[in-house]
């Protein structure tokens, strides 16, 4: 089994339509001379065998290949800012989770930003999972790689000739699996194997949830020391550091909350989850294409609401992302508690400054009263105290001493009154 790394593959010169590595297409001679249409982007194509190839394709080629409307492709546009989204459609699943922007079909995965360094580890993990899935199901005579026509969209009423070869390995077990409400791939030992689209979906969910969890852990490790430093010493540097941490906390919490809400929305809607059973819908389409009518196909959709397998998969990652959200909520509470403590400390310091201001103002008032006495002695007036023929030294000392003692007494009385009125502690 060959496993082509995306960096070793060259883009196709013809962007429209795209060609998977397992499909042999005959292109007209004039196609290679056409100019590249606007909106052509490189896509990494991973088929059901784990092989990778970088191709260039425009929006219309992707729409024909996956059956997606243009509004769904806008969700993956890197120039637009869309929140985390998981959409189940008739022939594809649209994934927009954090750095992962992908389209999953029953036989392949299309990644938009595969050259992003943060996506490279995900691509390697996805290839490994797809390869394991292929090895687990290769004993079954399935024909996944040629289910879609690359030149025209596949409709639900396709004739049996468009799916030559069929799925004979499922014919004997068809009745039993219809009773269960869904059809699952089985390994040689009878154990169930997840469909291809669920393998790719699980890899996307794990990568997104793990990325958010790692960011939350990193932020938590940085936040606690910064908050402790701020508690011990309030400074501009420590305040700025905590402000940046709080901004990151708000941003990460919003992203985690959006992923959690998206998973919760899927878990609450069985019909949305039923739309994501791409492999099963293809098999049912093949088995009923020769005799089915519109009413029969509607009945088939009504019987397709047993989504326990996908529900268990989504539930596991919902619990993981909910744990990450709880961790961020706990950190947010710690930040809020620290802010409250800092505000209390600042208020306490402000109260001490106000009390000091009251004491100084009182002292200034008392001293001003003593200055009045000194001012009186500085006046050019005739009083017995200034008589040169009398010994006024004793009277002078009594006057100065009495004035100073009176000032101190007034200050003590003023402070006692402030404490009595609880103006001072």
> What token pair was written down for 117?
């360094």
DSSP-H helix ranges across 25-90:
59-66, 70-74
pTM: predicted TM-score of the whole model, two decimal places? 0.68
Q: How far apart are CA 179 and CA 14, in angstroms?
A: 46
Of the candidate ranges 43-47, 102-106, 156-160, 360-364, the one whose mean pLDDT is the lowest = 156-160
Which string of DSSP letters, residue by residue, matches 291-304? Answer: T--HHHHHHHHHTT
More confident residue, 276 or 373: 276
Query: What's the pLDDT score for residue 329?
Result: 95
Q: Could you give the angle at the alpha carbon of 155 between the alpha carbons of 177 and 87, nearest 5°?
A: 70
Query: What's the pLDDT score for residue 5?
Result: 42
pLDDT tens string 260-309: 999 999 999 888 899 999 988 888 887 776 554 445 445 544 456 678 88
Query: What's the pLDDT score for residue 2?
Result: 40
More confident residue, 319 or 156: 319
3-state secondary structure of 137: helix
Query: What's the pLDDT score for residue 251?
Result: 94
What is the average per-residue pLDDT within 365-373?
79
3-state secondary structure of 365: helix
Query: What's the pLDDT score for residue 391?
Result: 54
Which of 72, 91, 68, 61 shows the shortest CA–CA distance to 151?
61
Angle subtended by helix axes 120-137 and 196-232, to nearest 10: 150
> What token pair was written down for 210?
């793990």
Q: What is the DSSP letter of 114?
A: T
> What token pair was written down for 41?
């982007």
Q: How far apart are CA 411 and CA 413, in angstroms?
A: 5
Longest dimension (CA), the chain: 142
Query: What's the pLDDT score for residue 305?
Result: 60
Query: What's the pLDDT score for residue 387?
Result: 62
The answer on pLDDT for 33 being more than 70 is no
Q: How far apart are CA 89 and CA 154, in angstroms?
A: 13
pLDDT tens string 132-191: 988 888 755 444 444 444 333 443 333 333 333 333 333 343 444 344 434 345 554 445
Of the candidate ranges 116-125, 267-276, 325-334, 363-372, the one whose mean pLDDT is the lowest = 363-372
Q: State the pLDDT confidence band at 370, using cuts at 50, 70 and 90.
A: confident
How many angstroms separate the Cα of 125 from the Cα of each of 31, 46, 131?
Answer: 35, 12, 10
How many angstroms separate the Cα of 28 from the Cα of each of 14, 25, 53, 148, 273?
Answer: 11, 10, 22, 20, 40
The answer on pLDDT for 316 being more than 90 is yes
The answer on pLDDT for 125 being more than 70 is yes
More confident residue, 237 or 385: 237
pLDDT tens string 43-92: 999 998 889 999 888 889 999 999 899 898 888 888 888 888 999 998 99
**Backbone phi and psi for residue 101, each to the nearest 5 degrees, phi listed first:** -125, 110
Say if CB 21 and CB 48 are below 8 A apart: no
Angle subtended by helix axes 278-288 and 294-302, to nearest 10: 150
Q: Strand 41-47 to strand 108-111: parallel, antiparallel, or no bridges (unpaired)? A: antiparallel
> What token pair was written down for 75?
């969700």
Mean pLDDT of the chain: 76
């Amino acid at each position: 089994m060959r496993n082509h790394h995306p960096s070793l593959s060259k883009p196709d010169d013809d962007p429209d339509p795209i060609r998977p590595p397992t499909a042999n297409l005959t292109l007209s001679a004039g196609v290679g001379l056409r100019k590249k249409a606007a909106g052509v982007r490189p896509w990494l194509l991973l088929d059901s065998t784990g092989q990778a190839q970088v191709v260039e394709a425009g929006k219309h080629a992707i729409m024909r290949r996956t059956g997606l409307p243009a509004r769904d492709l806008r969700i993956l546009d890197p120039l637009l800012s869309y929140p985390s989204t998981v959409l189940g459609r008739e022939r594809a699943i649209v994934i927009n989770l954090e750095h992962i922007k992908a389209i999953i079909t029953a036989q392949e995965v299309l990644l938009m930003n595969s050259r992003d360094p943060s996506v490279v580890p995900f691509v390697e993990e996805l290839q490994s999972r797809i390869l394991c899935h292929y090895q687990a199901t290769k004993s079954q005579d399935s024909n996944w790689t040629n289910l879609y026509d690359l030149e025209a969209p596949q409709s639900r009423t396709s004739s049996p000739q468009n799916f030559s070869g069929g799925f004979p390995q499922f014919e004997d077990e068809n009745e039993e699996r219809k009773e269960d409400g869904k059809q699952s791939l089985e390994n040689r030992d009878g154990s169930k194997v997840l469909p291809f689209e669920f393998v790719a979906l699980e890899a996307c969910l794990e990568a997104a949830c793990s990325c958010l969890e790692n960011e939350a852990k990193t932020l938590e490790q940085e936040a606690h020391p910064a908050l402790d430093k701020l508690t011990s010493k309030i400074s501009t540097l420590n305040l700025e550091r905590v402000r940046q941490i709080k901004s990151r906390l708000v941003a990460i919490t919003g992203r985690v909350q959006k992923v959690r809400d998206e998973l919760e929305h899927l878990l609450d809607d069985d019909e949305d989850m039923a739309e994501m059973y791409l492999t099963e819908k293809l098999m049912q389409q093949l088995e009923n294409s020769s005799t089915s009518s519109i009413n029969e196909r509607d009945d088939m959709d009504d019987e397709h609401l047993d989504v326990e397998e996908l529900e268990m998969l989504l539930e596991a990652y919902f619990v993981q992302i909910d744990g990450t959200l709880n961790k961020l909520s706990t950190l947010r509470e710690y930040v809020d508690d620290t802010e409250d403590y800092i505000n209390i400390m600042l208020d306490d310091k402000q109260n001490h400054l106000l009390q000091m201001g009251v004491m100084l103002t009182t002292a200034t008032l008392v001293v001003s009263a003593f200055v009045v006495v000194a001012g009186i002695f500085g006046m050019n007036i005739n009083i017995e105290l200034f008589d040169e023929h009398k010994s006024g030294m004793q009277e002078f000392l009594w006057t100065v001493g009495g004035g100073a003692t009176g000032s101190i007494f007034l200050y003590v009385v003023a402070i006692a009154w402030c404490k009595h009125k609880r103006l001072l502690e």
